[in-house]
Structures are given as structure tokens and as C-alpha cells.
Amino acid sequence: MLKVTDSMLADAKACPIRNVLDEVGNKWSLLVMLSLHGRRRRFMHVKRSIGDITQRVLTQTLRKLERDGYVARQVHPTSPPTVEYWLTPMGMSLLEPMGKLVMWANQNFEKVMKSRQEFDALTSATAAARENQAGFQKKQGESELR
């Protein structure tokens, strides 16, 4: 069973959740790792497989993943240099539990989107009602001053 203590959460530098999941749980890391799953890929192939990631962000993400030991790279001495990336054994082991999260996201995507739409509709209706009420009160105040 999962054991998390308050003292573990309170110490930012020693907290595995902040130190590990902060990097792999960001917007791009999991997508990059999924792109590399089971294969070596060159930079532009990873970029094309993800689509909307910028070159700068992909470079930063790959460097962070390499620094943490999830991704390895090899530079081939060609002109221009060819660089290949792949998952290390630690990166592969991380995809096992993260794969469950990906499956959950795929299974619940429509429910989450529907929930967001309902929340946004309710929130915008509430905001509109507040604006109408504020406008009504302002008009009432102006008419009382006359």
C-alpha cells in the first residue's frame, strides 16, 4: 500500500513526489517518453510524433529526461550530426505505472471533457448572473441619486 507521511511531504528537497513526479508529470515528458517507447528516434521524428511541441521545449524536455536517467542519447559523427534518443531501463520501468495513467486518461477522456463543459457552462452562467446583478444595482444607485 502507498505510504506517504506528512514529514515526507513537508521537506521539499527530500520529497520524492515533488522531485520525481514534477519532472515526469509535466505537460511534455510523458508524451516524449511514449514517443520513444520501444524504439530509437531522432529528434525530428520525436517532434513530428508529438506535433505541437516546439523545438526549444523538446530540447529542454529531452535534456531533463536524460539528466534524470530516463532517456539516453547517442550522437553519430555525421555531417550534420545525427542524434538518436531512446528510453533507458529506468525510463521503461517508469512507463509501466504511467501506462496505467495513460489507459485511464484514454478511458475517461470523454467524461472529463463533458465535466469540463458542464463546469464551464455553470461558471459562465454564474458570472453572467453576477454581471447582470451588478449592472442592475448600479442602475438602481444612479436612479436613486437623481
Over the chain (146 residues), the average pLDDT of each successive run of 10 is: 73 79 87 96 96 96 96 94 95 92 93 93 78 66 60
Asked if residue 113 lies in contact with residue 89, where contact means CB atoms within 8 angstroms, the answer is no
What does the domain layout of the chain look like in residue ranges? 6-145
Asked if residue 35 lies in contact with residue 41, where contact means CB atoms within 8 angstroms, the answer is yes
Assigned CATH topology for domain 6-145: Arc Repressor Mutant, subunit A (1.10.10)
pTM of the model: 0.74
DSSP element (H, E) containing 43: helix 43-50
> What are 126's three cell numbers?
454564474
